[in-house]
Structures are given as structure tokens and as C-alpha cells.
Amino acid sequence: MVQESWFGFKYCPKCGAPGFHTLDNGRSYGCEVCNLHYFINNSAAVACLIINESGELLLTRRAIEPNLGMLDLPGGFVDPMETAEEAIRREIMEELNLRVTGISYLTSFPNLYPYSAMIIPTIDLAYVCEVEDFTCLQPGDDVAAVEFMFPEAIDFTKLCTESMKQIILYYLHTATNKI
């Protein structure tokens, strides 16, 4: 169930009438004036697990809020009319200056992303990705720094979201059978 305070819409985005209210136990909003029925849907995001030749996971340090300075998996929001695979290639190039050569779906986890005084529900789609090489690796966009860590040695309290923790734990348990 979506909480009304997550979005806090007070006015209808179609007609501007006051009294835009929640419906369906908070899963949507409705306008009594123009009858707009607005559903609260997940925004799609991609998270990439990139492993180097030593078996270390590439993690980024966030250069922006939310969670400035915390560890994250590279990735980001899927743009409208963009496939998840296109988003992966774009985000990895923007954030790391790396060319993705292989993409394999791993799992997904829900997340709540605070942005602009709202909480955006997301579905974080996790992929194991291969890159051409690391010689061009350069943090950019919303990445302050890059760190390589063995997945089983990660301090999960330093990760920016619960979904990133769950994705890495799923990778450790399922993909490598280490946990």
C-alpha cells in the first residue's frame, strides 16, 4: 500500500481542482471534478553488478543526495521508451565511462527513493554486467568515486538503500552460492 504522504498531491494535475484524494487503499488518486484516476506505479531503475578479474564488485560512492557519500551499485532510472538494457549501457557510460559487453538479468527488489520532497516507489532491476575493460574507468555524472570490494566483505550499513543490500545478498546466495 502506498502512503498518502509519499506523494502529497493536493491539487489535480489535470484540472487543478483542490481535493485530489487517495483511492484503492492509497494505490491511486482521484479527482471529483474531472474524474482523473491517477495510479501510483513503480518507476523502473537498473542496478548493475560488475565484477573485475579478481572477483571484486564495483561499487560507487554517491556524489549527490539522497544518501550522499554512501556506497551504491552503478545504474539509475530507466528513461521513458527506453529498455532496461539501453538504460544499463547509458548509465554505465555516464557514470563510469565503461562500455557494457554483456548483460544478464539477476533479480529485482522494490525500493523507496526520496526525491524532491516525495518518496518515489521504484522497482530496482538487477543485472550482472560485463564491461570491455576497466582502462577507461572514470567516475562521472552522480558518482564521486569507485571502489572494488569482495561482495562478502561489504559493510551493508554503508549501502545507500535496502534494495542494494538485498540485490548483493541475492547475488552472493544465488549466483555464487557463498552464503
Q: Which long-range contacts (CB under 8 A, 24 or more apart) does 170-177 make?
A: 170/106, 170/107, 170/109, 170/126, 171/49, 171/106, 171/126, 171/128, 174/106, 174/107, 175/106, 175/128, 176/151
At residue 81, does pLDDT exceed 70?
yes
At residue 84, does pLDDT exceed 60?
yes
Cell readout for 72 is 551504491
Q: How far is CA 132 from CA 1, 17, 99, 102, 138, in A?
A: 42, 53, 6, 9, 14
Average pLDDT over residues 19-27: 85
- Please tell me the distance from the alpha carbon of residue 120 to that of residue 144, in angstroms, as a whole number: 23
List the domains of the chain with CATH numbers: 4-39 (no CATH), 43-175 (3.90.79.10)
Q: What's the pLDDT tens digit per position in 24-73?
A: 887 888 999 999 999 989 999 999 999 999 999 999 999 999 999 999 99
Average pLDDT over residues 10-17: 92
DSSP code of residue 52: -
At residue 76, does pLDDT exceed 90?
yes
Pick the closest to residue 164 from 116, 120, 106 (CA basis). Answer: 106
6 pLDDT tier (thresholds 50, 70, 90): low
Q: What's the pLDDT tens digit per position in 122-171?
A: 999 999 999 999 999 999 999 999 999 999 999 999 999 999 999 999 99
Residue identified by cell 521504484 is 122
- Please tell me the distance from the alpha carbon of residue 59 to that of residue 119, in angstroms, as a whole number: 24
3-state secondary structure of 61: strand
At residue 5, does pLDDT exceed 60?
no
90, 82 Cβ separation under 8 angstroms:
yes
Q: What pLDDT, on a 0 to 100 scale, did the predictor assign at position 175? A: 72
Q: What are the phi and psi torsion angles at 127 (to 5°)?
A: -135, 145
Q: What pLDDT, on a 0 to 100 scale, did the predictor assign at position 118? A: 82
pTM: 0.90
